A and B are shown apart, each in its own frame.
Chain A
Amino acid sequence: SQTIHQWPATLVQPVGSPLSLECTVEGTSNPNLYWYRQAAGRGLQLLFYSVGIGQISSEVPQNLSASRPQDRQFILSSKKLLLSDSGFYLCAWSVQYNSPLHFGNGTRLTVT
């Protein structure tokens, strides 16, 4: 069966510090991969998606970036965090474009 791992679960970082969140998927090949952010009391906002290694599409202009160095690895990064980057970050995968997304358990990021 397929599983998705996301870490760390919680993170507190000062403003201006770098960020690296990692997500890996097991049990499937060539998945579509996604990064979402969920702010308190708000819906899920798509940040990045990837349909293959090295292929990244950005949905929202910001100081975050994403990379997919391996088929089942997706990384969310920032060189300098802002207070507004605080939130709940979720990684997800799907088999194909119109199949359900399956989410990891998220990373709670607090920028202080």
Chain B
Amino acid sequence: EDQVTQSPEALRLQEGESSSLNCSYTVSGLRGLFWYRQDPGKGPEFLFTLYSAGEEKEKERLKATLTKKESFLHITAPKPEDSATYLCAVHSGSGNTGKLIFGQGTTLQVKP
């Protein structure tokens, strides 16, 4: 069964304290891994897409990497405005439906 697991569930950082979020996946055939940011009461906001192992994407203080079994979202020198829930999702298998399997998310709190 396809599965996506994110860790940790919650993470508290001091402003400027760099860290990484993990997304482990077990899928029949990876067709894309997606990272989203979700603020309370809002819909998820798309951050990155990764399609193959070794691929990396960067945006401001965020950097996403991908291996054959997991993805990391590295946060460098975070600021309080980076506080949010970060969701990982994978698209797998055959067909053209675009169905994504989501992880439970990591809730990040950055304290000033």
A and B bind: yes
Q: What CA separation (Å) do A101 and B48 show in the bound complex?
A: 11
Name the contact of B96 in the complex, choosing from A43, A51, A90, A101 (C-beta under 8 A). Answer: A51
Which of B13-21, B36-44, B64-72, B74-82 lies at the binding interface?
Answer: B36-44
Distance of A8 Cα from B41 Cα, bound (Å): 13
Given contacts A98-B32, A106-B43, contact A57 B97 (CB under 8 A): yes
Count residues of B near A (Cβ-Cβ below 8 Å).
24
A99: chain B residues within 8 A (beta carbon): 49, 98
Bound form: Cα–Cα A97–B100 in Å: 10
Tally of A-B residue pairs with Cβ under 8 A? 63
Docked-complex contact B98 and A42, CB < 8 angstroms? no
By a CB distance below 8 angstroms, the chain B residues around A98 are 31-32, 91, 98
Task: Decide if B97 touches A101 in the complex (CB within 8 Å).
Answer: no
B99 in contact with A106 (CB, 8 Å): no
A residues with CB within 8 A of B: 6, 32, 34, 41-44, 46, 49, 51, 57, 59, 90, 92, 94, 96-106, 108
Interface pairs (23), CB distance under 8 Å? A43-B87, A43-B103, A43-B105, A44-B44, A44-B87, A44-B102, A49-B98, A51-B97, A96-B96, A97-B91, A97-B98, A98-B32, A98-B98, A99-B49, A99-B98, A100-B46, A101-B34, A101-B100, A103-B36, A103-B43, A103-B46, A104-B43, A105-B43
Q: Name B94's closest neighbour in chain A (CB-CB).
A: A97
Interfacial chain A residues near B91, Cβ < 8 Å: 97-98
On whether the beta carbons of A105 and B34 are closer than 8 Å, the reply is no
